[in-house]
Structure 1
């Protein structure tokens, strides 16, 4: 029996199969397969156009100074344009869609290109207390499985970068260990993605304390306890005095310090551990568990601010590594 090949399929069967695909996929992917498929494609799409225009012309239109949000709006108009934005190989279309490969280099050598962060970072952030990713600016703050959304697979920056260091901005004397994302440049693979950055955010807050951090945690908590007790003693002495005697003395007033402040000791100099946490490739594994257990984690440093949200903002470049800074909301 002769070998059964694709080009021997009857046109009627091929046309029935084409019903499950949009025009762009038929013209760009299925038509070049073989002569029979090309013939069937010409029957289905007689003039080889999408809504009256060639696919290549649509690519030129959509790649002309179009930003991410406008491109996404156009992609929602029909399945053909949505497929075009997902599968186009034109660099000017892939750039605003944050789909360029990590190996892509600027077309003009020697000119520094400004790194732009993905628009998703404007509305999605991390709840420090639980490590969950939420839509903070939507108004309802409902938890969402952000990492399952298509946006999680898009580049975190444009142009793409293969190394990002996610840092927590120093605040209240707390320095958390940063997370380094290092993606190897392989063929047409993308750079560090939006999902990678949010996994790093989860990892940063859920990372167990290092021995040096454990010492720093104890020093910080001991100082807070002593400060609290000193304030209580000072207030008790003030309340025990007659009303007339509660007026601050001239010496205390001249020093600009209230009696309570005079009791408090200075905050100790605490040595934090700033060693880098490596988020190893591939990044398929979930972040560390976020359940409240006996393990002390980095977010314990922020226990006084449990219902605070953190979002990332693109920073500078240090030693070839793009910096993403985490800041409070």
Structure 2
């Protein structure tokens, strides 16, 4: 068999291939392949435009000071514009779409140098006991997986960062091990994505307890049990004194019974060692009955049906911090 090149394909076959791609991909990727493909794509798109304008004009329009929500709404109108926004190399458009490469040395014009979190985090909550996604502001209370949405591939911040520490804001004497996301800076690739942060949120609550955490959670539970028992005994003494004074009103009141000083909260030694997101995680993260592995979310057993969402805070040792807070 002699040599075979793309030039030898009949136009009919090339046109059939083009049917599987949107207009932007046909014009920007398939058309420059060779002369035969150029001729065939001109049959499919004679004007060389999509929705009446060339791709270069669409890029200039979309890069004109549009915010993320506008860019996202436009991307939903057709697959061609969605592909253009995803693959554009114009820095202003990349910044508006949260797709700026992490290797960019300067922030694109018009974009603030302050690190701003992705607008998607306004609607993303993690249900602690299951690690599932909740769109709490849209009225949709059904758990969904954020990793199935295109937003998961977008940078979680503008400008993009390559390291993020996802940590739980300490409350009620609880400190959980934080999760570190470390993404190497590669050419034309973004930084830490929305999907990375969501996976870190899931892992933070589903991580198995370390030995130090097992000791800490036992100390917390024992102290809570003693505190509740002391409160019950104190209430019983008050009720007993009330009944006694009502039965014998003429009996002179004796001095107040000595109250036992309340037990101070013990000093718990928590395990604050970092969890690396890229490390293997084989244990079942879902709360099935057969799953006997104890998880970090056990520290929050009194608040099992609350949601947690992340907010960008400060920088610690050169690492951007996302703080998980209760709803």
Is TM more than 0.5 here?
yes
1:255 aligned residue: none
Q: Deviations over 1:34-53 (max 9, x none)?
A: 01111222333233222222
Change (3 A) 1:49 1:309: same
1:298 aligned residue: 296
1:307 aligned residue: 305
1:124 aligned residue: 124
Q: Does 1:289 align with 2:288?
A: no
Q: Deviations over 1:118-142 (max 9, x none)?
A: 1221111111122222222233421
Give, in angstroms, the shift of residue 24 of structure 1.
1.2
TM-score after normalising by structure 2: 0.88
Tell me, which stretches of 5 or more residues in structure 2 are unaligned? 247-252
> What are the within-5 Å matches in structure 2 for residues 1-329 of structure 1?
2-107=2-107, 113-242=113-242, 264-280=262-278, 288-291=284-287, 293-329=291-327
Query: Contact between 1:31 and 1:37, CA under 8 Å: does it hold in 2?
Result: yes
Number of corresponding residues: 317
- Give the CA RMSD over aligned residues: 2.8
Change (3 A) 1:326 1:286: farther
Q: Distance in 2 between matches of 1:209 and 1:34?
A: 58
Give, in angstroms, the shift of residue 108 of structure 1.
7.3
Q: Distance in 2 between matches of 1:107 and 1:235?
A: 63
Give, in angstroms, the shift of residue 186 of structure 1.
2.3
Query: Contact between 2:167 and 2:178, CA under 8 Å: does it hold in 1?
Result: yes
Give, in angstroms, the shift of residue 101 of structure 1.
2.4
Give, in angstroms, the shift of residue 170 of structure 1.
0.9
Give, in angstroms, the shift of residue 279 of structure 1.
1.3
Q: Distance in 1 between matches of 2:133 and 2:283?
A: 12
Give, in angstroms, the shift of residue 163 of structure 1.
0.5
TM-score after normalising by structure 1: 0.87
Give, in angstroms, the shift of residue 174 of structure 1.
0.9
Q: Distance in 1 between matches of 2:143 and 2:108?
A: 42
Query: Contact between 1:230 and 1:263, CA under 8 Å: does it hold in 2?
Result: no
Q: Distance in 1 between matches of 2:79 and 2:297?
A: 44
Relative to structure 2, which stretch is displaced further, 112-121 or 53-62?
A: 112-121
Q: Distance in 1 between matches of 2:4 and 2:292?
A: 64
Change (3 A) 1:126 1:106: same
Q: Distance in 2 between matches of 1:276 and 1:86?
A: 33
Query: Contact between 1:203 and 1:288, CA under 8 Å: does it hold in 2?
Result: no
Relative to structure 2, which stretch is displaced further, 144-153 or 159-168?
A: 144-153
Change (3 A) 1:206 1:12: closer
Give, in angstroms, the shift of residue 288 of structure 1.
4.9
Give, in angstroms, the shift of residue 155 of structure 1.
1.4
